[in-house]
Amino acid sequence: MDLAWAVLKAMKPHRQKVLPAGADKHLKLQSWANKQAFAEELLGDEATARRDALMREAVADPEKHGLRFVDGGPIPFDDSPPAPETEKLPDGQSSLDDF
């Protein structure tokens, strides 16, 4: 049951907990990256893009940013493209097999 719960409760990469060097309290990866991006005085889309880049860099090389992942190793981001939506056929059918 514990394995099933762990699979259902899988952690998303941006929600991982990190401990920055010299800090006594952990942060979520996204919160850490937001603080870094806004410290660079970026706003709007630039800040969002920098935050996303920082999160990916931190997962790839935590030592470069002085981070330690609290709950084990870093969970990588899934960069696979989203699955295409199924095309709706007339009368609510989802495939030709429904005939």
* Domain locations in the chain as residue ranges: 22-74
Q: Are 67 and 55 contacting, i.e. CB atoms less than 8 angstroms apart?
A: no
pTM of the model: 0.64
Per residue in 23-74, pLDDT tens? Answer: 889 888 888 888 888 888 888 889 899 999 999 998 888 889 888 888 877 8
Give the chain's count of helices (H) and strands (E): 3, 3
Whether 9 shows a pLDDT value over 60: the answer reads no
Predicted confidence band at 80 (pLDDT cuts at 50, 70, 90)? Answer: very low
